[in-house]
Structure 1
């Protein structure tokens, strides 16, 4: 039976949302890919506690407003070249949150254990230009849901 690590993921909107629909992408320090911040859920930690802790660890700030939550858990398997590289899991099952960062000046990638080397805010309609990895299908599904619900556009 396959083992999946539970985690949370954040689609971060810029402080100018809803007037400007730009989304945070971070370029990973260990791979040449752009992605949304994400991370594991610790024992006895709620989803929102995990979300805020992971954001603090990855982008240096958890000064956010939670706008919406994707209604389901979404799972993916690690590509064969990445399997068990870091964890004893076959993949991850994720809960996605749509959040707005309240202060851009608080973003600081020089955290205790940096995960990103750079970041940018990209127009919601242009995310596809940057995401070319195994999470693309899930990203599209989540973004389409939030668009259908009227949060993105």
Structure 2
């Protein structure tokens, strides 16, 4: 389902733990890392699509999270032609997304990457809030920055990241430090591998 400009309605999910670290998933059988996301089906609201994608990709149920905020408007990004399926070229231009900021109220062990027969991720870790900007594939970087920046003011008050938003600065983090609580070893914060990205997250989610 594309709009008149060729953008596919989609939702993105920023899931926080109690330290305001964000869920970061490795796409199955690739070296691509990203936030959970997926298309909005005909007749679904963005919130309904978000809860469906949350279960399909992360295995969580609505009662295991709390919605903290969502973006006010659609955030768009264009997909380079080489990453678009050949049969969609000329029609599909990219994604327009509503982003949700969620707080995990369940436990790490509630996550189940194989909740469906078609898993999207095969590993995950907790990252500091701004780290995804350093490692996401380039054509998604602007939309990630817009979503993270807009939603940063809704982070729990005890979190220190709001000061970067007020100052207009973004912190830089090392990606080679030791794994912290809840981080999955063997799942480093690698740059996204563009190879298989659009085959799942963009057209099958």
| TM-score higher than 0.5 | yes
Aligned partners of 1:86 and 1:23: how far apart in 2? 35
Are residues 59 and 150 of structure 1, via their aligned partners in 2, closer, same or farther at CA, if it must alter by over 3 Å? closer
TM norm structure 2: 0.66
Aligned partners of 2:110 and 2:119: how far apart in 1? 15
| 1:42 alignment counterpart | 41
3-state SS, counterpart of residue 15 of structure 2: strand
Indicate the structure (1 or 2) with the bigger Cα radius of gyration.
2
The correspondence for 1:5, drawn from 5, 8, 32, is 8
- Whether contact under 8 Å (1:57, 1:112) holds in the other structure is no
Match status 1:106 vs 2:107: no
- Whether contact under 8 Å (1:33, 1:133) holds in the other structure is no
What are the within-5 Å matches in structure 2 for residues 4-153 of structure 1? 4-14=7-17, 16=18, 20-29=19-28, 31-62=30-61, 63-84=64-85, 89-103=92-106, 104-110=108-114, 111-147=116-152, 149-151=153-155, 153=161
Are residues 105 and 86 of structure 1, via their aligned partners in 2, closer, same or farther at CA, if it must alter by over 3 Å? farther
- Which structure has more helix as a fraction of its residues? 2
Aligned residues: 148
- Whether contact under 8 Å (2:133, 2:144) holds in the other structure is no
Which ranges of structure 1 fall in alignment gaps of 5 or more residues?
Answer: none
Which ranges of structure 2 fall in alignment gaps of 5 or more residues?
Answer: 162-205
- Which structure has more strand as a fraction of its residues? 1
Displacement of 1:105 after TM fit? Answer: 1.4
